[in-house]
A and B are shown apart, each in its own frame.
Chain A
Amino acid sequence: MSAGGITAEPPVAAAPPPAAGPGRLGKYVTGAIFLGPALFLLGVWMVYPAVYTIVRSFFGEHGFIGTWVGIDNYKTLFTTSTLLTAIKNNAIWVAVVPALVTAIGLIFAVLTERVRWAVAFKTVVFLPMAISAFATGVTWRIMYQQDPGLGAVNALGKTISGVFSPAGVLSQASPSIPALQTTPSGALVLKTATHPGGIVLLGLTGIAPDQVPKSAVQAVTPPPKPGDVVGTVWRDFKPGGGKVGVVEKQELGLPGVTVELRDAAGKTVQSTTSKPDGSFDFSKVPQGTYHAAIGAKTFAKPFGGFAWLGPSLIVPSLLIAYIWIWAGFAMVVIGAGLAAMPRDVLEAARTDGATEWQTFRRVTIPLLMPVLSVVFVTMIINVLKVFDIVYALAPQSEYAKANVIALAMYFTAFQGGGNFGVGSAIAVFLFILVVPVLALNIRRFRRDM
């Protein structure tokens, strides 16, 4: 429960050296007075909750302490599939985020050294750090919406795809009669054959009133014409449904639809465009058997967007948003390291004929190593504890897929489940994961001091 808090706390400041004068005892008293408040607060806020959580993890689910269950809670932790997903996801986070954040931060830091608008650029990249992770999660959740009308990411995709494959005029329409069938290419073909002098009726439904072109008027079945194939394409729907496949009053023609006449081999011999009442006319058709069709272009679906928040993309989506937050932090820290780097070494390398890349690889990176590892280790700790962005960004329906250890702990202990036993076990497990990284960090602090 408090594993997170423990890791974030800086070491306690040592008591100042006592003033000369009072005896040995007095020295201890002064020390105790100075240390007292800090020790007391640490005890209340850190030591007690940590010990309580560890003890609590061996007891049952309800109440202040519950009943002794031994290591059952830990068994549950490693046998419940949602908790295992959380552990697996945390592993993915640790494998991906620290490395990428450090790399991106390094690239930004090196590049900003060389651009004119460095301050502006740095400010923009660093800005996400000023936003709470929860707000970031909410914002990205909106940007990730699948509907391109809502989500900025998919809207961009729609703009780009709109250039290459524009949406058809009747993308939502579907045939009203079974004889009108969809071909693999997306066109609609009337299976009932027709001959010169025949009439074809191409009824479509699923078209909202506001999608019907403004010029549309009451649909009309044209009279048969010797030598011609005539017909109508219309919205085969009136309030209440109407009779399927029959042109009725209140049913509108669909103007501007490209209708094709295909011969027995399926080759298009003529194509024409429907009039405001939906009627069309293929004139002077030679004898033979034909099929009327509506081209695939009419029904071309607009870009529907990727399901960024769906089960397969949710984890990458979360990683991207999280990296977006922390790249700025890495850039600033690494940038500071870069600024403090002795320039003469770089110059020496260049004088010796090293290329820019060689200088970067063999000089800059080794010299920056301490800074890079600070960023890397800090990110590992941050990522292990990640919670708020997952909670805010992932839709509830994907929590199971997006689960991470801290989120699993929250849901197990505080939401619905109310299982403080397993919740504590998860917290202890998270604590155990963080400790080695923390120890590494503390050792380096000592060395640096």
Chain B
Amino acid sequence: MNRTRIAVVGFAAVLALLAAGLAGATTSSHAKGSHVSALKGTITFDGIWTSTSGQKQFQDVINLFNKTYPNVQVKYKPVGDNLPTVLATAIAGGKPPDMADIAQPGTVAQFAKQGKLKSIAYARSTIAANFAPAWLSLGTYSGKLYALPFKAANKSIVWYNVPAFKNAGVKAPKTFAQLLADAKTIKSSGTPAYSIGGADGWTLTDMFENIYLRTFGAAKYNALGAHKIKWTDPSVKTALTTMAKIIGDTGNIAGGTSGALQYGFNDSVTNAFASPAKAAMVFEADFVGGVITSSTKAKANTGFNTFTWPSITPGPDAGAVEIAGDLFVAFHDTPAIEAFVKFLAAAPAAEAWAKQGGFGTGNKNVPASIYPDAITRTNEAPISSAKSVVFDMSDEQPPSFGATASQGEWGLFQDFLKTPSDVAGIQTKLEAAAAAAYKKGK
């Protein structure tokens, strides 16, 4: 997705790991299973996590696997952010790794369509026993199960500056109407309410996606993501109009519109949690926590806290969660790979990382108590308990539309931030860009 996110997740993980180490992490009780030394083999695994962003935690997961399968060697290669490009090149060269970790469902779909992936249907029953059905469909492309959603990040979160909220005398809002009212109060208290990292287009699409999800529910959300609903649809108009209530409130945004367009994601976080605060809240995912702890002095609970994206339309999907996640795919099929995939789908593998922080999972057998602190628990527990879960829409779309700097959706939402009044114009442009991207994808 982007390197900031990855770095941030990693940093959070490292911090949490230190904390866990100090607290004297207990050894996992799941490792006592019998040894299967008969199974031998090597698995090459390309992933985005580097030494500063989760490689160590994933190695812990591998080590746990090796306690049961001591003769299977998993060779993890930290490729970093460019993974989709590296994989595409490796596939073109005929030498893909055995397994890989891909953050974009759009890329998985592309590889699946090209027939490069091996189905992991052998792990279906394990996944079904551990995840809600929605997760199986997240990994299913044209009827076949290809991907295991090993790691997930909750994107339906708002982070807020506790002293700024206290100064304004407001509490974390539960509804969108309350959020807007509180924002007005916060403005009167002398601090802009919103911090927006508009230089990174994905922060804007994330905001739109949460609004759309909370207004129209998961089914329509997924239809829009698959371009079965057009961007000129009235529902998009409603969601954009709702979004304009936030981004159109120029005087209530740190730095105003022009400032927001220059602040990247990291800046938006430091603006909101610096002292004195330049803004009161940031609409972004669980990985914001890592930036707060690494670049500001704010402390959990007294300095920063989170609330769930407020509900807009009451209904069954009011508590739906938007996630970004890591999808594990296999390019080969061997007994060793099958054993590893099944192991990863079960709770102990997720717990080995989850207890260190910086990790969320849809695995319903991972108890919420495994998360190292209260804020992490609030953020990550809904991923497995939410009634409906959707994937980050812009990651699902063809990358030229949903994931390219200054092009397609990212660029057009930056235009929308510049002129929030022009809802119809943005809709037309979004539809044109989406139509071109989907046409090419076919």
- Interface 9-mer from A327-335, A363-371, A408-416: A408-416
Shortest distance from the beta carbon of A245 to any chain B beta carbon, whole Å: 12
Contact partner, B411, options A146, A147, A309, A400, Cβ 8 Å: A400
The answer to whether A208 and B191 touch across the interface, beta carbons within 8 angstroms, is yes
The answer to whether B262 and A416 touch across the interface, beta carbons within 8 angstroms, is no
The answer to whether B276 and A397 touch across the interface, beta carbons within 8 angstroms, is no
Contacts of A419 in B (CB 8 A): 400, 440
Contacts of B172 in A (CB 8 A): none
- Interface 9-mer from B58-66, B69-77, B161-169: B161-169
The reply to whether the CB of A176 lies closer than 8 angstroms to some CB of chain B is yes
Query: Known interface pairs A208-B191, A310-B261, A418-B400. Does A147 touch B255 (Cβ–Cβ under 8 Å)?
Result: yes
Number of interchain pairs (Cβ within 8 Å): 113
- Interface 9-mer from B6-14, B197-205, B228-236: B197-205
The reply to whether the CB of B170 lies closer than 8 angstroms to some CB of chain A is yes
Kindly report which residue of chain B lies nearest to residue A149, judged by CB atoms: B278
Q: How far is the CA of A208 from the CA of B199 in the complex (A)?
A: 26
Q: How far is the CA of A419 from the CA of B191 in the complex (A)?
A: 45
Contacts of B400 in A (CB 8 A): 416-419
The answer to whether B405 and A310 touch across the interface, beta carbons within 8 angstroms, is no
Contact partner, B262, options A146, A211, A241, A411, Cβ 8 Å: A146
The answer to whether B185 and A416 touch across the interface, beta carbons within 8 angstroms, is no
The answer to whether B405 and A399 touch across the interface, beta carbons within 8 angstroms, is yes
Contact partner, B410, options A238, A240, A396, Cβ 8 Å: A396
Q: How far is the CA of A82 from the CA of B415 in the complex (A)?
A: 14
The answer to whether B399 and A418 touch across the interface, beta carbons within 8 angstroms, is yes
Q: How far is the CA of A302 from the CA of B207 in the complex (A)?
A: 32
Q: How far is the CA of A408 from the CA of B115 in the complex (A)?
A: 30
Q: How far is the CA of A310 from the CA of B198 in the complex (A)?
A: 12
Contacts of B241 in A (CB 8 A): none
Shortest distance from the beta carbon of B270 to any chain A beta carbon, whole Å: 10
The reply to whether the CB of A239 lies closer than 8 angstroms to some CB of chain B is yes
The answer to whether B85 and A399 touch across the interface, beta carbons within 8 angstroms, is no
Contact partner, B399, options A205, A208, A398, A416, Cβ 8 Å: A416
Q: How far is the CA of A208 from the CA of B161 in the complex (A)?
A: 14
Q: How far is the CA of A306 from the CA of B388 in the complex (A)?
A: 46
* Secondary structure of the B contact surface, majority rule: helix
Q: How far is the CA of A419 from the CA of B110 in the complex (A)?
A: 13
The reply to whether the CB of A300 lies closer than 8 angstroms to some CB of chain B is no
Contacts of A209 in B (CB 8 A): 167, 189-190
The reply to whether the CB of B92 lies closer than 8 angstroms to some CB of chain A is yes
Contacts of B408 in A (CB 8 A): 416
Query: Known interface pairs A210-B276, A399-B405. Does A241 touch B185 (Cβ–Cβ under 8 Å)?
Result: yes
Kindly report which residue of chain B lies nearest to residue A238, judged by CB atoms: B169
Query: Known interface pairs A145-B262, A208-B276. Does A241 touch B188 (Cβ–Cβ under 8 Å)?
Result: yes
Shortest distance from the beta carbon of B170 to any chain A beta carbon, whole Å: 7
Q: How far is the CA of A37 from the CA of B259 in the complex (A)?
A: 55
The answer to whether B405 and A416 touch across the interface, beta carbons within 8 angstroms, is yes
Which of under 10, 10 to 19, 20 to 34, or 35 or more describes the interface residues of B? 35 or more
The reply to whether the CB of A237 lies closer than 8 angstroms to some CB of chain B is yes
Kindly report which residue of chain B lies nearest to residue A244, judged by CB atoms: B188
Contact partner, A416, options B92, B264, B404, B417, Cβ 8 Å: B404
The reply to whether the CB of A172 lies closer than 8 angstroms to some CB of chain B is yes
The answer to whether B264 and A417 touch across the interface, beta carbons within 8 angstroms, is no
- For residues 110 through 155 of chain B, which have their beta carbon under 8 Å from a beta carbon of chain A? none
Q: How far is the CA of A172 from the CA of B254 in the complex (A)?
A: 13
Contacts of B301 in A (CB 8 A): none
The answer to whether A239 and B188 touch across the interface, beta carbons within 8 angstroms, is no
The answer to whether B201 and A397 touch across the interface, beta carbons within 8 angstroms, is yes
Contacts of A240 in B (CB 8 A): 168-170, 185
- For residues 177 through 216 of chain A, which have their beta carbon under 8 Å from a beta carbon of chain B? 205-211
Contacts of A403 in B (CB 8 A): 406
Query: Known interface pairs A397-B199, A411-B404, A415-B404. Does A64 touch B166 (Cβ–Cβ under 8 Å)?
Result: no
Kindly report which residue of chain A lies nearest to residue B440, judged by CB atoms: A61
The reply to whether the CB of B369 lies closer than 8 angstroms to some CB of chain A is no
Kindly report which residue of chain B lies nearest to residue A309, judged by CB atoms: B262
Contacts of B88 in A (CB 8 A): 418
The reply to whether the CB of A63 lies closer than 8 angstroms to some CB of chain B is yes
Shortest distance from the beta carbon of A314 to any chain B beta carbon, whole Å: 10
The reply to whether the CB of B187 lies closer than 8 angstroms to some CB of chain A is yes
CB-CB contacts of A403-446 with B at 8 A, as 1s and 0s?
A: 10000000100111111000000000000000000000000000
Q: How far is the CA of A168 from the CA of B264 in the complex (A)?
A: 30
Contacts of B84 in A (CB 8 A): 418
Identify which of B85, B88, B188, B255 gathers the most chain A CB atoms within 10 Å of its CB. B188
Identify which of B167, B191, B261 gathers the most chain A CB atoms within 10 Å of its CB. B261
Shortest distance from the beta carbon of B162 to any chain A beta carbon, whole Å: 13
The reply to whether the CB of A307 lies closer than 8 angstroms to some CB of chain B is yes
The answer to whether B406 and A239 touch across the interface, beta carbons within 8 angstroms, is no
Shortest distance from the beta carbon of A30 to any chain B beta carbon, whole Å: 37
Identify which of B88, B189, B190, B410 gathers the most chain A CB atoms within 10 Å of its CB. B190
Contacts of A64 in B (CB 8 A): 92
Shortest distance from the beta carbon of B417 to any chain A beta carbon, whole Å: 8
The reply to whether the CB of B403 lies closer than 8 angstroms to some CB of chain A is yes
The answer to whether B255 and A395 touch across the interface, beta carbons within 8 angstroms, is no
Kindly report which residue of chain A lies nearest to residue B411, judged by CB atoms: A400
CB-CB contacts of A207-249 with B at 8 A, as 1s and 0s?
A: 1111100000000000000000000000001111100000000
The answer to whether A395 and B262 touch across the interface, beta carbons within 8 angstroms, is yes
Kindly report which residue of chain A lies nearest to residue B258, judged by CB atoms: A307
Contact partner, A415, options B92, B166, B405, B440, Cβ 8 Å: B405
The reply to whether the CB of B414 lies closer than 8 angstroms to some CB of chain A is yes
Kindly report which residue of chain A lies nearest to residue B437, judged by CB atoms: A417
Q: How far is the CA of A147 from the CA of B414 in the complex (A)?
A: 20
Q: How far is the CA of A378 from the CA of B402 in the complex (A)?
A: 38
Contacts of B411 in A (CB 8 A): 399-400
Kindly report which residue of chain A lies nearest to residue B164, judged by CB atoms: A208
Q: How far is the CA of A241 from the CA of B261 in the complex (A)?
A: 30
Q: How far is the CA of A146 from the CA of B418 in the complex (A)?
A: 16
Q: How far is the CA of A397 from the CA of B408 in the complex (A)?
A: 12
The answer to whether A417 and B262 touch across the interface, beta carbons within 8 angstroms, is no
Q: How far is the CA of A240 from the CA of B418 in the complex (A)?
A: 31
Q: How far is the CA of A420 from the CA of B240 in the complex (A)?
A: 33
Contacts of A207 in B (CB 8 A): 190
Q: How far is the CA of A64 from the CA of B91 in the complex (A)?
A: 10
Shortest distance from the beta carbon of B102 to any chain A beta carbon, whole Å: 14
The answer to whether A416 and B407 touch across the interface, beta carbons within 8 angstroms, is yes
The answer to whether A310 and B262 touch across the interface, beta carbons within 8 angstroms, is yes
What 9 pairs across the A-B complex have the smallest Cβ distances? A239-B169, A416-B404, A208-B190, A240-B169, A399-B406, A416-B399, A395-B199, A205-B188, A417-B400
Q: A397-B261, A411-B407, A416-B402 provided; 16 other pairs, C-beta below 8 A?
A: A82-B406, A82-B407, A146-B255, A176-B188, A205-B187, A239-B168, A239-B189, A241-B168, A395-B261, A396-B264, A396-B405, A396-B414, A411-B405, A416-B404, A417-B400, A419-B400
Can you identify 28 A-B contacts, CB atoms within 8 angstroms?
A63-B92, A82-B406, A146-B255, A146-B262, A206-B189, A209-B167, A209-B190, A238-B169, A239-B170, A239-B189, A240-B170, A241-B168, A307-B262, A311-B418, A395-B261, A397-B262, A397-B417, A398-B261, A399-B406, A400-B406, A400-B407, A411-B404, A411-B405, A415-B404, A416-B399, A416-B405, A417-B407, A418-B399
